[in-house]
Amino acid sequence: MAREYVWLVCTETGDRNYRVQKETRGTERLRLRKYCKRLRKHTIHEESRKK
């Protein structure tokens, strides 16, 4: 299986808060509700590849 690390970025602040492994073949972009330390609440986090 081909797996790679992707960052989860908060949609409200733009902070990269989490790094997770993801299978690369045939998957959609991740969108999860995760905790944002800056806002101190759960927000939507989207997948982003680190440049």
All structural domains of the chain with their residue ranges: 3-48
- CATH top-level class for 3-48? mainly beta
Query: pLDDT tens across 2-27, in order?
Result: 888 999 999 999 999 999 999 888 78
Which residues, in sequence order, are CB contacts of 24 under 8 Å at separation 6+? 2, 3, 4
Q: CA-CA distance, 42 to 27, in Å (whole number)?
A: 24
Q: Is the pLDDT of residue 39 over 90?
A: yes
pTM: 0.83
Confidence of residue 35 (pLDDT cuts 50, 70, 90): very high
What is the structure's pLDDT at 42?
97
